[in-house]
Amino acid sequence: MGIIRPDSFSGVLWHTLDSYTRNFKFLLLFAIPFLIVLPLALLLPNFASFGGIFLRFGSISRDLGLLDLLFIAVAFCVSLLLFSFGLVAINMVVKTERTLKTVSFYEFEKIEMYTFKLFAVFFFAFIISLAANIFLYEKGLHSTLGALVSLIASLLVVFAPQAIVMDNQSAKYVPKNSISVIFKKLPLFIGYLVVAIVLIGIVSQVFISLAPSIGSTATAQLLAVAINALLIVPFLEVLKAQIYLSKYTLL
């Protein structure tokens, strides 16, 4: 039997499965914010697709008033804050395990700081993406350009939770850190994307196929979102954390 290299995808996946199974109860607990985010997101003008929630902004100017927009903004910020807390907590679990250290009360006090820092990073990336898409929409340019801007913004923050929690990275250095990890660990990152697509796709297809027995396609889609929130998102975040930590050969 060959030795599994810790910086190979098989090594990273082994660490992920080991960490996920041994800390499942904590990960499930910290995934609850993701599940809380779901009903908050459902209050917004949205549609559920492929296990995720997507906002549609095309008809906002025609259908929504000032109070409606204010309500959406507040719900979005609350959802993003809860989402940030869940990601920070999951990464704290992985950090504790991989460094073989007991997290002190002082370290847990940092969760609040990490959460608001991650929230600020995500919020800034969202504003950039939203502003760019609105600008392109008003100019009548192809929506593919907007999707490209959103993709770039996502790549700039994809490893933001890990950079903030693992290295206490300043928010202004997070985009550079995230891109650096992607390029240095490109095969691992591609593997992460494949695993994410496969897992989310399987969950979504299973519930879509069960829609006739469940009685409602919409209910089946929402159940898929709930399973993804409780089980799949934490697993993918642990996998992302292990990819990030693979740059430290001693871990």
pLDDT score for 6: 60
Q: What pTM did the predictor assign?
A: 0.84
Residue 26 lies in a domain: yes
CB neighbour burial string for 169-195, b if at least 16 within 10 angstroms, e if fewer: bebeebbebbbebbeebeebbebbeeb
* Strands annotated E in the chain: 46-49, 52-55
Residue 42 lies in a domain: yes
Residue 220 lies in a domain: yes
* 192 Cβ contact partners less than 8 Å away, ≥ 6 residues apart: 236, 239, 240, 243
pLDDT score for 103: 57
Residue 159 lies in a domain: no
pLDDT score for 20: 94
pLDDT score for 138: 77
* Structural domains counted in the chain: 1
pLDDT score for 65: 65
d(CA 247, CA 32): 30
- For residue 53, the enclosing domain spans 9-107+180-245
What is the gyration radius of the CA atoms in the chain, in angstroms? 19
> What are the tens digits of pLDDT across the range 104-159?
566 667 888 999 999 999 999 888 888 887 788 777 776 678 778 888 888 999 99
- The residues facing 181 across adjacent strands are none
Residue 136 lies in a domain: no
Residue 184 lies in a domain: yes
d(CA 179, CA 164): 14
Asked whether the beta carbons of 80 and 122 are under 8 A apart, the reply is: yes
Q: In whole angstroms, how far apart are CA 90 and each of 96, 153, 188, 200, 249?
A: 10, 22, 20, 19, 22
Residue ranges in the chain whose pLDDT is less than 70: 1-7, 38-65, 68, 99-108, 142-143, 249-251
pLDDT score for 17: 94
Residue 185 lies in a domain: yes
Residue 142 lies in a domain: no
